[in-house]
Structure 1
Amino acid sequence: MALKREDDFELRREHLKSLSDDELKERFFMLSEVVTDPLIELAKNSTTPSIERSVLLRMGFSSIEAKEIVERIIDAGLMGKGAGNVVLRVSEKLGTYYLTTGREMAEGLHMDLAIEAFRGGLGNGSQKR
């Protein structure tokens, strides 16, 4: 035997009764933003070492190189910028091929330039992602 749900629609809509269609539509989209904004922020600002290694693998780095690059980027506090983005930005600043730059970064080189590019003002590098 199924339980019957009591109909409380009229009670729940009381505060919306006086709104026009346009006002209801505006309220709907405002509430939609309230629900989705935190999810969008989470997606923009959150990543994991696994995701970043995956990006680097797709850029052509070996798994060992990707692991080292990600670890160094985490240590530098740049994880939120994206490992691939950091490698590309540094390679642009050096004027070298990104695979070469990334491999050098895996060995510990250029991290000062990476930090400077994202925290201090090498042109576009200081902008948020």
Structure 2
Amino acid sequence: MSEEQLEAKFWELAGKLVDPLVELAEKNTSPSIERSVIMRMGFSSMEAKGIVEGVIDRGLMGKGAGHVLYRLAKDNNLEIREAGLKLLEGQMWDKVEEIFEGGDK
């Protein structure tokens, strides 16, 4: 095998090894992971908990809480923090459900 063939084979096998991990990460999440994402978007742990609970209650966990928050902010020309605070106040969940067509209930 030439050096180029060996390198190509290495990357092929590495891809096969990593593909299941990538698929697992794409298809699975948890409230803990989603709270962590929201906290990295600038929210406290209590705020993140409230947002994630709202996402779960509406069957949107599969979309990702951070994605839900980002899309709400983007689609309504809001800062991410402003959008999150509105969700915590019980506002704009109807907009979220419109964006994601009702969730996975």
The alignment's TM-score, normalised by the length of structure 2, stands at 0.74
- State the Cα RMSD in Å: 2.6
Counterpart of 1:51 (choices 20, 24, 33) is: 33
State which structure, 1 or 2, has the greater radius of gyration over its C-alpha atoms. Answer: 1
In the aligned structure 1, how far is the partner of 2:14 from the partner of 2:101?
34
Matched, 1:72 2:54: yes
Alignment partner of 1:91 is 2:73: yes
Q: Alpha-carbon deviations, 1:32-86, whole Å to 9, x = none?
A: 8887655432210111111111111111111111000000001111111111111
State the number of aligned residues: 101
* Alignment match, 1:8: none
| TM, length-normalised to structure 1 | 0.62
Structure 1: runs of 5+ lacking an equivalent: 1-29, 121-129
**Using the alignment, how far apart are the partners of 2:13 and 2:45 within structure 1?**
43
How far off its partner does 1:107 sit?
A: 2.1
Letter of the aligned partner of 2:48 in structure 1?
A
The higher-RCO structure (CA 8 Å, 6+ apart) is 2
* TM superposition outliers: structure 1 runs of 4+ over 6 Å: 30-35
1:103 CA drift (Å): 1.0
For the pair 1:104 / 2:86, whether they are aligned, the reply is yes
Aligned partner of 2:35: which letter?
R
